[in-house]
């Protein structure tokens, strides 16, 4: 009588596990000093091999735990994640760093890098190549970027990163204001004049002294006119002419896509 082959299965599984263990690659950093790991990670960073730098920096965090070198590893890991396109992971790494090291002398850099991660994610310095209106993009990342920069300039006014952060904040504010105007124009062009008025008024009230105010006022003029509210139309037009005496909107209408509102700093 033939025996069932089932009793062989545990032995086969054990053999397979042993083979798997024997084929596992060894940790090449096992005998390295923290300084050696850091040097190798820096080489990978400088060579643009961000995916290789991250695991090295993670090992460095563990090997140098409790030292300034471990803090440096965290920041460099966040930078590598950011440059490697892993922006959510970069933000998580920076948030962890700031939670663990609130008194770190590199805290200002952590805030600056967090602002950069979200700034580039949403605004993109080179979107002009495709003539994409930056105000038409999702604005959450822009707001997160602004908050990081604002905390930086408030807490560290003398930081080396503060001047650039201030310029980026101005750019973000202009983007957020123009986003409101973009939505107001969207409503206007579809005949939703009350909604257009509401969004244009929000842009004017929430964002002061920004380029988008001119078009927001023009949308008010056109929307009130379409609604038959002549007094409000005339009031909005007076404000537009007084605030922007050189405006051409009343004569030529809305700007085209070839006339972007945004400028580089």
Q: What is the pLDDT of residues 124-134, one digit of tens each?
A: 433 433 444 44
Q: Which tokens hold the place of 155?
A: 């807490």
Sequence-ordered list of residues with C-beta below 8 angstroms from that of 152, at least 6 positions apart, any chain: 108, 111, 112, 115, 159, 161, 162, 165
User: 228: phi > 0 → left, psi -120 to 50 → alpha, else beta; which?
Assistant: left
The more confidently predicted of residues 254 and 108 is 108
Residue 86, pLDDT score: 94
Q: Are 200 and 184 in contact (CB under 8 A)?
A: yes
Residue 257, pLDDT score: 53
Q: Are 114 and 84 in contact (CB under 8 A)?
A: no
Residue 25, pLDDT score: 63
Q: Strand (E) positions, the chain?
A: none
Q: How far apart are CA 124 and CA 140, in angstroms?
A: 14
Q: Which tokens hold the place of 254?
A: 């809305």
Mean of pLDDT over the chain: 84
Q: How far is CA 95 from CA 92, 115, 122, 163, in A?
A: 5, 12, 19, 22
Q: How far apart are CA 119 and CA 114, in angstroms?
A: 9
Q: How far apart are CA 72 and CA 78, in angstroms?
A: 10
Provide mean pLDDT across the span 61-78.
93
The lowest-confidence range among 166-170, 225-229, 234-238, 255-259 is 255-259
Q: How far apart are CA 57 and CA 74, in angstroms?
A: 7
Task: Say if residue 122's pLDDT is above 50.
Answer: no
Give the three-state DSSP class for 61.
helix
Instruction: Give residue 136's pLDDT band: very low, low, confident or very high (50, 70, 90).
Output: low
Residue 262, pLDDT score: 47
Q: What are phi and psi of 36, to 5 degrees?
A: -65, -45
Q: Are 28 and 52 in contact (CB under 8 A)?
A: no
Sequence-ordered list of residues with C-beta below 8 angstroms from that of 140, at least 6 positions apart, any chain: 122
Residue 31, pLDDT score: 80
Residue 19, pLDDT score: 53
Residue written as token pair 């596992």:
24
List pLDDT tens digits, range 233-265. 999 999 999 999 999 999 988 876 544 444 444
Which residue in 170, 156, 252 sits closest to 212, CA to CA? Answer: 170
Provide mean pLDDT across the span 192-206.
95
Which residue in 141, 138, 225 sits closest to 182, CA to CA? Answer: 138
Q: How far apart are CA 68 and CA 104, in angstroms?
A: 9
Residue 123, pLDDT score: 46
Note the pTM of the prediction, 2 decimals: 0.75
Instruction: Give residue 205's pLDDT band: very low, low, confident or very high (50, 70, 90).
Output: very high
Residue 26, pLDDT score: 74
Q: How long is the chain?
A: 265
Q: How far apart are CA 249 and CA 105, in angstroms?
A: 50
């Amino acid at each position: 009588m033939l025996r069932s082959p089932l009793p062989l299965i545990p032995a086969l599984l054990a053999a397979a596990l042993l083979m798997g263990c024997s084929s596992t690659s060894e940790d090449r950093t096992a005998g390295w000093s923290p300084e050696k790991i850091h040097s190798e990670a820096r080489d990978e960073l400088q060579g643009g091999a961000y995916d290789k730098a991250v695991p090295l920096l993670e090992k460095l965090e563990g090997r140098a735990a409790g030292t300034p070198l471990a803090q440096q590893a965290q920041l460099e890991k966040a930078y590598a994640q950011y440059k490697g396109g892993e922006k959510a992971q970069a933000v998580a790494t920076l948030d962890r760093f700031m939670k663990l090291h609130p008194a770190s002398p590199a805290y200002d850099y952590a805030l600056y890098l967090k602002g950069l991660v979200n700034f580039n994610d949403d605004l993109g310095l080179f979107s002009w190549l495709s003539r994409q209106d930056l105000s038409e993009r999702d604005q959450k990342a822009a707001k997160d970027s602004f908050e990081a920069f604002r905390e930086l300039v408030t807490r560290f006014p003398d930081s080396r990163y503060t001047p650039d952060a201030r310029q980026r904040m101005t750019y973000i504010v202009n983007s957020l204001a123009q986003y409101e105007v973009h939505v107001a124009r969207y409503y206007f062009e579809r005949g939703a004049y009350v909604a257009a008025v509401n969004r244009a008024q929000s842009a004017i009230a929430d964002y002061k002294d920004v380029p988008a105010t001119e078009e927001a006022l023009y949308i008010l003029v056109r929307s009130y006119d379409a609604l038959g509210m002549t007094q409000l139309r005339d009031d909005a037009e007076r404000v537009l002419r007084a605030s922007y005496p050189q405006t051409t909107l009343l004569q030529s209408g809305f700007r085209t896509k070839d006339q972007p509102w945004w400028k580089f700093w």
